Structure 1
Amino acid sequence: MTGGDTTGRTAVHRAKERAERLIGTLRRGLGHAGRDRDAMLSIVKSVFAAAVAWLIANNLLHAPSATFAPFTALLMVQATVSQSVDQSARYAAAMVAGVVLAGVLTPTLGAAMWTFAVLILVALVFGRWRKLGQQGPQVGVAALFAYSSFTQSPALSASYLQLASIAGLVLLGCALGVLTNLVIVPPMRYRSAEHGIGSLAHSLCDLLTDVSEGLHGGVPDRESAQAWQHRADQLPESVAQARATVEHAAETMRFNPRRLFMRDSTSFAGHRTILNALERAGEQLNSGLRGVHNAAATDHPQDRAHHRFIIGYAELLAAAAEAARNLGRLHSADDTPQLRELDDATSRAERAYRELAEQAGDETLDSPRQWPIYGALQTDAHRLVEEFIHARHSLSHLLEPDREEPQTAGSAAERSE
């Protein structure tokens, strides 16, 4: 086999792999929602917006700088409708500012090298205005094109007409970019927010369940406590990912006409309430696991009082795990079974805490010479339960405003402290 044959077969193999990847991307894009479909829709919308902008600017208006319209339209087809509106406003402001600067400084100072330098300097300084965001550099770009129109036009009136044409084409491109993104399948991420919260709730529930099952045998060994602590330390990263998913989903809903056809409410207040509750519950669990680790590391031998306390603590965590699971399943006002199950799980956690507090009140769990490990565990347990109580009440008001809240013994007094 010659070297040429080997090279040719390798090239064919690579081309085949690329074709298969492309076919796979197209199949996924056509088959279900996701990044591949978003990319395909973005390409289609960009082509449509640019083509319509060129048709209007060149064929209908016969503008001398017709490319400004399709160029701007391409830039304004963003990932979401709200991004299109926001970036269009900033881009239009930046471009118009550059044109105005050129229209004021060039006739006043004359077309000269130092005038060009002053114009670009002023444009770049103005482009640093934070309100323009990432579109700030476009002030200098617009000023440069506008200055060239002054140097190439034979008359001052023709120069001003050219500047007005550029500004108008920019506004036309912005309008077409936003309109295209608004009309042609505007992107939404409502379900991805539910998935992000569900994933976080699942992680918290799994950890609570594993800790609860591990504590049913009493004070754990150090390795188990360290393993649980390591998993709890990773929860903040999961919270950050879920929060980014929710906020991105909320952004896709702004100015999005598809929300009018959704049966459920598109408010993300409930999502944020659940996310905040899961975040704070994770923080309280992390603090409690530090206490469990301290209990496992203590040199004092375990006695029956410690054993009973840890088992009671395990029962509380089991109820908290069920509450976390049901929080992750709550998506709309139609999820009343999950809300009732959240009520039940939270009530179980409250009862478990009361039993734990009564037991701790009858025992001397911490030695006067050691850090109050079990007292800290009781405090963390109280705070963990309170997070789920607060979440339950907040969600009840959001999902069922007219719903009568069940009164649980001690919870109102504890929240008023």
Structure 2
Amino acid sequence: MARGETGAGTPGRWARARAWWLRALRHEGTERLTLLWTGKAALAATLAWTVAHVLLDARSPAFAPFSAVTTMYVTVYRSLVQSLRYLVAVTLGVAVQAALGFLAGPDVLTFAIVAVVALVIGRTGLLGDQGPQVATAAFFAFSTYVAAADHADRVAQLGQIVLLVLIGCAIGTAVNLAVAPPLRYRSAEHGVRVLARTLYELTSDMYPALRDGVLEAEDTGRWRERSSWSGGFVAQARADLDIARESVPFNPRRLLRRNRGHGGFQGYASVLDALERTLHQFASLARSLDQWREAENDYSYRRFLDRYAAFLEAVSESARELAVLDESTLPAHTDRLAGLAATARLRLAEVAEEAALRRLPLADPTRPYGVLVVEANRLMEEVQYTGDVLRGLLPR
């Protein structure tokens, strides 16, 4: 049976692998970025190994390609910063070992002292993610120190470690800069799309139930649970925006005509802020609806809920438009968002009119109407604000 299962699973694995390669070759995305990073890292490692082993005939040439791969990050800016930190970390590790090794000799007690000092330096946080490399470099330096024949050889080998790391960092950064340097403008758009899609899925599930006028505990509990997940999506969206911003400094591709004049990062940040506030408002709505139960499920104000559902549908359509945001077609998006905002404003007026006509108990904390009306006005402000921000990104 196990053999049959293995054979049956092989075609599926081949199909998934083929689909992965097709996506990498045909479309921009995670697969292509992974493929590009692998190729660039392999090129940098090979060049570093060639310099260290063939040209310098180093005793430990692996330091160079390891350093080259270590400094290959998703942005040129991060590669430069992390290369400098990595080089400083390695230099500190080697210096700690050299100072203590030459003073106390190559014995176990010296190694213990080197380990403590290097680990403490690494934990200070001054070198960020590269802090642990202080101890790693110190350990490798100690092994090199022990294996060396005399003091002169030890000094030469320890200096060579720093030189190899410098060569690896320089080659890794140069390859990342020269070969298709990552320019992640679209990461900002992706962050907006992620939050907009989350909002669209929530609203498109909510407004039909409100229109039917029957809110089951299962539905309201699901809305409340899904609203609680939004924090993770917000964090991911902000990380995408940070990567987009970080990809610009020191990147030669920003000078290309099609990439000039990009001033949308602040605009996208404002849109993300608006979407985050909107998701918090829907969390408040979901919580109020989940806590509310009418006697015998008799909803006295179904016409109000129907009007409110129409308003949420307009908000949902705005979210769906943002979920396919593309800078290349931004004018069309802003025009559609303006039309959807106008529709939402009309629906909001109908909600307010119905609330006044029915004399809803807006001040009653045991019923959700007051929260619904307040949040509707806030949602309208965010819809209008988002459209205005995106319109401000259009070229003048």
TM-score greater than 0.5 by the shorter chain: yes
2:127 aligned with 1:135, yes or no? no
In structure 2, C-alpha distance between the alignment counterparts of 1:121 and 1:248, rounded to whole Å:
37
One-letter identity of the residue aligned with 1:258 = R
Does residue 75 (structure 1) correspond to residue 61 (structure 2)? The answer is no
1:413 corresponds in structure 2 to none
Q: Is the 8 A contact 1:229 1:286 kept in 2?
A: no
Q: Of 53, 58, 61, which aligns to 1:66?
A: 61
Q: What are structure 2's unaligned runs of at least 5 residues?
A: none
Q: Which string of whole-angstrom CA distances, capped at 9 and with x for unpartnered residues, describes residues 61-80 of structure 1?
A: 33343332122223333444
Output one character per residue of 1:86-109: Cα deviation in whole Å (capped at 9) or x when no partner. Answer: 432332121100111122222233
Cα gap change, 1:392 to 1:312, in 2 (>3 Å): same
Seq. identity, % = 34
Distance 1:287 1:207 in 2: 13
| Separation (CA, whole Å) in 2 of partners of 1:221 and 1:249 | 40
Residue 182 (structure 1) aligned with residue 177 (structure 2): yes
Alignment of 1:29 with 2:24, yes or no, is yes
- Residues 1:247 and 2:239 aligned together: yes
Q: Which residue of 2 aligns with 1:281?
A: 278
Provide Cα deviations, 1:246-272, integer angstroms capped at 9, x if missing partner. Answer: 523642624444344372527433333
Could you tell me how far 1:142 is from its partner in structure 2?
2.0
Q: Give, in whole Å, the separation in 2 of the partners of 1:128 and 1:11.
A: 46
Cα distance, 1:279–1:236 mapped onto 2, change above 3 Å: farther
Q: Distance in 2 between matches of 1:246 and 1:378?
A: 30
Structure 1 Cα separation of the partners of residues 379 and 8 of structure 2: 58
Q: Is the 8 A contact 1:192 1:249 kept in 2?
A: yes
What one-letter code is carried by the residue in structure 2 that aligns with 1:381? Answer: A
Say if 1:49 and 1:176, in contact at 8 Å, map to a contact too.
yes
Q: What does 1:322-337 correspond to in 2, within 5 Å? A: 322-332=317-327, 335-337=330-332
Equivalent residue number for residue 227 of structure 1: 219
Q: For residue 385 of structure 1, report the CA deviation from its aligned partner.
A: 1.5
Name the stretch that deviates more: 122-131 or 57-66: 57-66
Secondary structure in 2 aligned to 1:365?
coil
TM-score relative to the length of structure 2: 0.81
Q: Give the TM-score taking structure 1 as reference length.
A: 0.77
Residues 189-234 of structure 1, C-alpha deviations (whole Å, 9 max, x = no match): 54455355335424433543454444445xx2232x6425513531
94 and 369 in structure 1: CA distance in 2 versus 1, 3 angstrom threshold: closer
Judged with a 3 Å threshold, the aligned counterparts in structure 2 of structure 1 residues 376 and 46 are, in CA distance, closer, same or farther, namely: closer
Q: Report Cα offsets for 1:364-385 as digits up to 9, x if no partner.
A: 3229887353222211212221
SS of the equivalent of 2:28 reads: coil
Q: Using the TM superposition, give the Cα deviation of residue 172 of structure 1 relative to its aligned residue in structure 2, in angstroms.
A: 0.8
CA distance in 2, matches of 1:11, 1:326: 44
1:300 Cα deviation (Å)?
Answer: 8.8
3-state SS, counterpart of residue 61 of structure 2: coil
Shift of 1:130: 1.6
SS at match of 1:222: coil
Return the match for 1:237 from 229, 239, 242: 229
Number of aligned residue pairs: give it.
391
CA deviations 1:375-411 (Å, max 9, x no partner) are 22211212221222332333344x1487xxxxxxxxx
**What is the rounded CA distance, in whole Å, between the counterparts of 1:19 and 1:339 in structure 2?**
43
Structure 2 residue 266 is the aligned partner of structure 1 residue 269: yes
Question: How do residues 9-408 of structure 1 correspond to structure 2 at under 5 angstroms?
Answer: 25-153=20-148, 155-191=150-186, 193-195=188-190, 197-216=192-211, 220-223=213-216, 226-227=218-219, 229-231=221-223, 233-237=225-229, 240-241=232-233, 243-245=235-237, 247-248=239-240, 250-251=242-243, 253-255=247-249, 256-261=251-256, 263=258, 265=262, 267-293=264-290, 297-298=294-295, 302-303=299-300, 306-332=301-327, 335-366=330-361, 371-397=366-392, 399-400=393-394
- 1:46 Cα deviation (Å)? 2.5
Shift of 1:173: 0.5
Tell which structure's C-alpha radius of gyration is larger.
1
Query: Take 2:264 and 2:166, find their aligned partners in 1: how far apart are those partners?
Result: 32
Letter in 1 for 2:269: R
- Report the AA paired with residue 69 of structure 2: L
The one-letter code sitting in structure 1 at the alignment partner of 2:214 is D
Unmatched segments (≥5 aa) in structure 1: 1-5, 403-417
| Alignment CA distance shift 1:75-1:375 (3 Å) | closer
Across the aligned residues of Structure 1 and Structure 2, the Cα RMSD in angstroms comes to 3.7
Letter paired with 1:382: N
Partner Cα separation in structure 2 for residue 309 and residue 183 of structure 1:
61
| Residues 81 and 182, structure 1, Cα contact 8 Å, conserved in 2 | yes
For 1:13 and 1:351, the matched residues in 2 are separated by 57
Greater shift, 359-368 or 371-380, is seen at 359-368
CA contact (8 A) 2:223 2:286 kept: no
